[in-house]
Structure formats: structure tokens, C-alpha cells
Amino acid sequence: MSSFVIKSIGNALNATSLISSKYASKKALSLFASPRKGRYNDDQKRIIESAYFEEVKYNNMEIATYRWVGKGETVLLAHGWESNTSRWEYILKDLKAQDYNIIALDAPAHGRSDGKQFNAVLYSEFINVVAKKFQPDVLMGHSVGGMASVFCLHKHQLPSIKKLILLGAPAHFTGVFDRYKSMMGFNNRISNGLDKIVLERFEQPVSYFSAANFTETFTAKGLIIHDKNDRIIPYEDAQLIASRYKNSKFISTTGFGHGLKDASLIPQIIEFINE
């Protein structure tokens, strides 16, 4: 959406909040949680055609999983916002060449998975279900897929996972939420209302959901990769995670953007997995 449209929606909700801040806040959260893209187009479907497709369930929601069978380490891939498993096309060939057992899933309301709305907490439960079924050795998440992976490892016991790879991941939900509020130009009624809804729904304040804080207790070896010019998730988020995640290595890049799909990073990821 253009900045004009975004601000227009924000202004309309701000006006609505004068009548009912609760209603406006719910609409603002629904907008935040509703991906505008992420389902498969025809080109993306071709990327996953070679995978073994299987659905698993979480609370009566179908989770789409894809498996490229190998005899090596089992690697679980978690994509980011408004994406799907096809985003891993750039690295799949190299992972297959290592004979890894590759598993990927589609997030809630993305790809072929169920749902109309998305949040990182729900995504973390999806990841947990898939991880318990396939027992991965390595978990790799891009963007909010990385944050959801951290949430998952913080809440659940997953002893099979020995290594965690975070690509362009946010350090905390507060930053993600604040950037959304600022982008939309929400007033204090909506801003406070959003925080209240999170507290009521998840029984924790927004500040609790900090990937950086959660990694402090992780024993799994970590690899953090982030671009200095990332326009989506600030580089400072990666620095914060790296400062808290003691058992981790930090790779800083320049010019690869938020996607981090540059071929030069693939050997470094594979080297980390093979260590």
C-alpha cells in the first residue's frame, strides 16, 4: 500500500477511536495480523512440487509441511511474513547437495496452511508441532520466522535442536509493534488499546515477547545473520540478539537487504550446520 493509503486508514481508525477506542483497536490489530500476500502463485507452486507434502494439525488448524528426504542432518525451515516455503528456493539446491533431510512449513494464513490471521506466538506453536514430528537437528528462520522460532524454543522442550539460524530476525515484538503504530500514525487511544488486547489475549505484556531476552538461556549453538542496510528489521536488533545469545556467532552483511538471499552466505550456513 502507498503511504497515502496507509495514513488514510490510520486517520480513519483514529477518528473511529473517538467513538470506540476498543473497536478501533481491534480493527487495527486485525489489519496488523492479516497478510496481504503469502499464498502460492503458479511459479511458487513449481518450487515445492518435488517435495513430499503432508499436513499436521494444531488446534484443528492444518499446517502445510514439505519434505525433501535426505540421510544427513534434519533441517527445519521457517519463512517470514507474507511469504511461504518457496522463499527457500535460493538455498534448496545446496542443502540437497549436502543430503540434508529438509523440512519446511507454511506459517498460519500463509502458503497452504490454515488461518486468516497471523501472529508470531501462533506461528511458534506451528513450529513446535512440526519440530516434534520431524525431530530437526537445525532450525532456521527468516525474519518473523526467526522470532517465532525463538519463541518456540523458549516455551517448549525440543532437545533434538542443536543449532539455530536467525536470518534478519527481530529482537523483540515491541519494536515490530511500535514501527507498525508509527507507520499507521495511530493515536494514543489505539496504541494503548493494542497493548491492552495483547495483554488480554496472551496474558503477557508486549514487552515480554523479546527474542533477544529469550536467547539468553539457549544452549543450542546460534548463527545470526543480518544486513546493515535492512529496511525492514533494524540492524540494531541483530546486535541486541547477539549480545544476549552467548552461544552464537554473528555475521554482518552489507547490501544483501532483508531477504539475505545472496549466494555468498550459503557456504557459511552450510559450514555452520556441518560443524
* For residue 11, pLDDT beyond 70: yes
226 touches 238 (CB < 8 A): yes
Residue 191 lies in a domain: no
Give the per-residue pLDDT at 156: 97
The mean pLDDT value of the chain amounts to 96
**Which phi and psi (to 5°) does residue 234 adopt?**
-55, 145
Per-residue pLDDT tens digits for 130-152: 999 999 999 999 999 999 999 99
pTM over 0.85: yes
Residue 260 lies in a domain: yes
Range of the domain at 74: 34-172+209-274
Rounded percentage of the chain residues whose pLDDT exceeds 90: 97
Residue 193 lies in a domain: no
> Residue 95 has which C-alpha cell?
542443502
* For residue 227, pLDDT beyond 90: yes
* For residue 3, pLDDT beyond 90: no
Q: Sign of the CA dihedral 249, 254, 256, 261?
A: negative
Q: Shortest CA distance to 63 belongs to which of 1, 7, 111?
A: 111
Q: Please count the structural domains in the chain.
A: 1
Name the pairing type of β-strands 163-167 and 248-253.
unpaired
Residue 165 lies in a domain: yes
Helix axis angle, 21-33 to 173-184, nearest 10°:
110
* For residue 2, pLDDT beyond 80: no
**Which phi and psi (to 5°) does residue 179 adopt?**
-65, -35
Domain of 74, CATH number, reads 3.40.50.1820
Give the C-alpha separation, 87 to 110, whole Å. Answer: 12
